[in-house]
Amino acid sequence: MEIASPPLKSPTTGPDAKGRRDPLDCLIVALDLPSADAAMDLANQLQGYCRWFKVGMELYYATGNSVVERLRDRGFQVFLDLKLHDIPNTVAGAVRSVTRAGASLLTVHAGGGAEMMRAAAEAASAPGAPRLLAVTVLTSIDSAHLASVGVPDLPATQVLRLARLAAAAGIHGLVCSAEEVAAVRQAMGPDALLVVPGIRPAGPSVAADDQRRIATPAEAMSRGASMLVVGRPITQADDPAQAAAAILQQMNPAD
């Protein structure tokens, strides 16, 4: 049964008198888990500490649209992170296929090129379709990785190139690391939706895992991020709710 997606809410409820935004509207918890039961169990633990969840390839390939629908039924917003990258017609068809699940955000790879992104943007213009985010350069990639695939530029240069390409193709939401978000914000303007993964909480001996370009919540938000994606620091914590609460505090620290 098709479920009409609600309009995408602003990632924030608006700044307070000091220009700060509600962290609950800016935190996306990554449900990088192998089953719907595990995902819903974690969602239950994080009730009240999270309004957005990311459903990535591992979970989506295991469950399909059903987990997106279950999260929506619980009142959560869903960021469907599939990083679509194929010929234009195939990507457009994929956008149409996932629209009925009701995700609010959906990723495509900017590296797929302008024609592919234009096809995705056209498919996403239908009622109920998710807002698209173009993935620029993964946070696990550094200059050496780029050079190994024939891109001689620094990640920051490649990110800006792909960001401008996405905007020209009709996609005004982007995924980039905290290292580039200030430059992307300056280039794309205040209305661009900039989602930043690779977030690690402040503190000594915080593991970067397989990420290369990371930042703390406060650093990413101060540089111009709209929303932050946090996975293992919350999902692998002994107390996920307490870990999420700490992230929220770091996003908007008290004076």
Q: What per-residue confidence (pLDDT) applies to 8? A: 33
Average pLDDT over residues 19-44: 91
Q: Please give the mean pLDDT across all residues of the chain.
A: 88
Tell me if 232 is assigned to some domain. yes
Is 5 contained in some domain? no
Closest listed residue to residue 5, CA positions, set 68, 53, 82, 48? 68
**Contact of 140 with 210, CB cutoff 8 Å:** yes
Is residue 10 in a domain?
A: no
Q: Give pTM, 2 decimals.
A: 0.87
Least confident piece of the model among 5-14, 46-55, 56-65 = 5-14
- Domain count across the chain: 1
pLDDT band, very low/low/confident/very high, at 203 (cuts 50, 70, 90): low
- Is the pLDDT at 9 greater than 50, yes or no? no
User: Are 83 and 109 spatial neighbours (Cβ–Cβ below 8 Å)?
Assistant: yes
CA dist 228 and 175 (Å) reads 10
Question: 11 in a domain, yes or no?
Answer: no
Q: How far is 157 from 88, CA to CA, in rounded Å?
A: 25
Q: What per-residue confidence (pLDDT) applies to 138? A: 87
Torsion of CA 51, 56, 61, 67, to 10 degrees: 0
Catalytic residue numbers, as ranges: 83
37 found inside a domain: yes
Q: Residue 131 is part of a domain; what is its CATH number? A: 3.20.20.70
For the residues 125-144, what does the mean pLDDT come to? Answer: 92
The band of 204, judged by pLDDT with boundaries at 50, 70 and 90, is low
The whole-number pLDDT of residue 211 equals 52
Q: Is the pLDDT of residue 237 over 90?
A: yes
How confident is the model over 74-128, as pLDDT tens digits? 999 999 999 999 999 999 999 999 998 999 999 999 999 999 999 999 999 999 9
Residue 236: which domain range?
23-251
pLDDT of residue 207: 53
Question: What's the pLDDT at 189?
Answer: 92
15 falls within a domain: no
Higher pLDDT pick, 152 / 107: 107
In a domain, 198, yes or no: yes
Specify the pLDDT at position 15. Answer: 53
